[in-house]
Amino acid sequence: MTKRKIVLAFSGGLDTSYALVDFREKGWDVVTANIDTGGLHSGEAEVVKARAEELGAVEHHVVDARAELYDRVITYAIKANYLRNGAYPSCVGAERLIQAEKVVQVALEVGADAVAHGSTGAGADHVRYDAVIRALAPHLEIVTPIRDERLTREGETEFLRSRGYEVSEKVKLYSINEGLIGTSIGGEETYGSWEYLPESAWTYTKSIDEAPEKGVELLISFDKGEVVSAVTADGTPLPNENNYDILSALNVLGGEHGVGRGIHMGSTMVGNLARVGFEAPGMLILIAAHRELEKLVLSNRQQATKATLGNTYGDLLHEAVYFDPIMDDFRAFLDSSQTRVTGTVRVLLHKGNIVLLGSRSPHSLLDAATRSGVVYGHGSSLWTGEQARAFAHMYSVPGAIQRAAANPAE
């Protein structure tokens, strides 16, 4: 009798290592799919493959999805200036769309009977994976032992070690997920609201104390809202062969200067309050620079409307609403809003800070005002002092009326 075949989204971490061995012992032929959305560094793909083979996978697939992730997800997150609750760039969460799609693609290619992922039922990733899999391949069974059996990291570790497989202490203590957007870190300290992650938990960002005394200045350029180049003040360009290279380079450079660390707390899509550590230097730098350029070229109404719609779009993306047509509508709006978002922003990275030094654009509203004879706080040739007095008088009328209505006895 032919064994049933299952494709497992495999990172080589504790949860997916447990799942692989568990499936094999239950009689499945396990095909592992390692989807690279920015979490694999030099040599790591081979390490993950070796781990899959060690644990008994019959096949192992590596899919490079970085360019697609950047094009379909990250560019719009930057255009939207999306930070969940104003702080968190949806590290890894927004990447699950692409990862789940590629896992389904592998499953269809190998003729699998089922797909699996190592998400728990306590977070949101299991919903993201399931939503994509059910939309793209509803005939495939979804198998999730970590979620269904409510396993603990301690229990998984004991299971693997009892069968002779090694588990590192850091993997045992922390759940770490790295991607282009950033790295999320969960552990004992994030289960409550008081403790901060220890230095040993952070993966690549330096502490403020360890960061260089001298910062680094960058010139980051955009064309219609998309990042096109980043150059240091001494003229050294950051890598830019692939569409995601600048973001990757900024993750490294920002991390060296202590930029990008944080702990985010907020309501999840499943209704509970959650807290997670993150490292996301590149996204925080690019969003800060992009927002600064928008201030120079967009009207107040454009900025206010973008802030609302961009945040809604990002929240829906974060919460796995991938296939509703409203997402196409949001992207059309975001693309349209970027017509004049072309220019360069000066950014200083120093001791954990992102300092916006200046910006310029051929569409600068500030330059247009100056050419028209208006210099804020200095003077204007477009109106007289008498007209300014009249404007101030008319502007104050609604306040005076409201004051009179609230105090009729005065």
pLDDT (average), residues 388-409: 92
Which residue, 75, 79, 74, is CA-closest to 307? 79
Give the chain's domain count.
Answer: 3
Are residues 225 and 111 both part of a single domain?
Answer: no
pLDDT (average), residues 136-163: 94
Rounded to 10°, the helix 281-297/300-318 angle is: 150
Are residues 207 and 110 both part of a single domain?
Answer: no
Band of residue 269 on the pLDDT scale cut at 50, 70, 90: confident
Are residues 258 and 204 both part of a single domain?
Answer: yes
pLDDT (average), residues 251-263: 97
Is there a domain that residue 375 lies in? no
Are residues 181 and 117 both part of a single domain?
Answer: no
Which residue, 38, 69, 41, is CA-closest to 180? 38
Are residues 166 and 64 both part of a single domain?
Answer: yes
Are residues 108 and 132 both part of a single domain?
Answer: yes
Is there a domain that residue 290 lies in? yes
CA-angle at 77, arms to 331 and 333, nearest 5°: 20
Are residues 110 and 143 both part of a single domain?
Answer: yes
DSSP three-state, residue 19 = helix
| Residue 240 confidence (pLDDT) above 70 | yes
pLDDT digits (tens, 9 = 90+) for 15-72: 999 999 999 999 999 999 999 999 888 788 999 999 999 999 999 999 999 999 999 9
pLDDT digits (tens, 9 = 90+) for 351-368: 999 999 999 999 999 988
Q: Which of 171, 186, 206 finishes a domain?
A: 171
Band of residue 216 on the pLDDT scale cut at 50, 70, 90: very high
Helix residue ranges, H only, 203-280: 245-256
Are residues 272 and 401 both part of a single domain?
Answer: no
Are residues 229 and 197 both part of a single domain?
Answer: yes
- Residue 51: CATH number of its domain: 3.40.50.620
| Residue 171 confidence (pLDDT) above 70 | no
Are residues 262 and 186 both part of a single domain?
Answer: yes
Are residues 200 and 230 both part of a single domain?
Answer: yes
Q: Going by C-beta distance under 8 Å and a sequence separation of 6 or more, which residues neighbour residue 109?
A: none
Is there a domain that residue 25 lies in? yes
Of 24-38, 118-132, 181-195, 327-341, the range with the lowest mean pLDDT is 118-132
Range of the domain at 110: 5-171
**What does residue 354 show for φ and ψ, rounded to 5 degrees?**
-110, 105
Q: H/E element holding 284? A: helix 281-297
Are residues 164 and 196 both part of a single domain?
Answer: no
Output the six-digit token pair for 204: 């690549």
Q: Which of 146, 171, 196 finishes a domain?
A: 171
pLDDT (average), residues 70-85: 97
CA-angle at 10, arms to 8 and 16, nearest 5°: 85
| Residue 1 confidence (pLDDT) above 70 | no
Handedness of CA 12, 15, 16, 22 (dihedral sign): positive
Output the six-digit token pair for 53: 């083979």
pTM above 0.85, yes or no: yes
Report the side by side order of strands in the sheet with 114-116: 59-64, 29-36, 5-9, 114-116, 141-143
Is there a domain that residue 182 lies in? yes
Q: Going by C-beta distance under 8 Å and a sequence separation of 6 or more, which residues neighbour residue 141?
A: 113, 114, 115
- CB 142: neighbour CB atoms within 10 A? 16
